[in-house]
Structure 1
């Protein structure tokens, strides 16, 4: 088993959680403001931030295939999880297990 790049894995986990929070803010705060309070600017701002974070997460997951390393299937799972509210928080459990297994093997 190749050595796990724990610092990169930790950055990936943190970035994934931040992206997941941005999804919840978009769906739970910005969209209700747009439709209930007629404030479309909220979705424009939060949606743009969320979009940048999502693209960044996709790039980090692609890099993680060689840098952590994780499987391509797990990277795709991470991308799909980022589309669903609360998905990144569930996916974080998988990344945490990888880090824990690396600590146990040392």
Structure 2
């Protein structure tokens, strides 16, 4: 889940921070045509991993909403990754 979050977050930042400005400021729409589908695939993977994670039943509704919401915020995935790492450590120590 952590890797999927980081991948989705990086592709979102690249899309919004580089590809879209290149399209509008430098008249270079190819950047969006390339990064758009890459981000779409990463987002789909992230949502699929989120559904799989939530199916385990050990996550609250608030955690699920937070993990979905950060997928729409540039750089949100990086904060999410820290929270997921903390959760992973807590689960590992309780086993």
TM-score by length of 1: 0.80
Answering whether residue 72 of structure 2 is matched by residue 46 of structure 1, we say no
Instruction: Note the C-alpha offset of 1:68.
Output: 7.5
Partner of 1:4 in structure 2? none
Answering whether residue 59 of structure 2 is matched by residue 70 of structure 1, we say yes
Instruction: Note the C-alpha offset of 1:24.
Output: 0.8
For residue 99 of structure 1, the aligned residue among 74, 78, 88 is 88
Partner of 1:55 in structure 2? 44
Q: Could you list the runs of 5+ residues in structure 1 that have no partner in the other structure?
A: 1-11
Partner of 1:22 in structure 2? 11
Q: Could you list the runs of 5+ residues in structure 2 that have no partner in the other structure?
A: none
Question: Which runs of 4 or more aligned residues in structure 1 lie more than 3 Å from their structure 2 counterparts after TM superposition?
Answer: none
TM-score by length of 2: 0.89
Deviations 1:14-54 (A, max 9, x none): 01101100011111110111011101111121011101111
User: How many residues are aligned here?
Assistant: 95
User: Cα RMSD between the aligned structures?
Assistant: 1.5
Secondary structure in 1 aligned to 2:55?
A: helix
In 2, Cα distance between equivalents of 1:58 and 1:72: 15
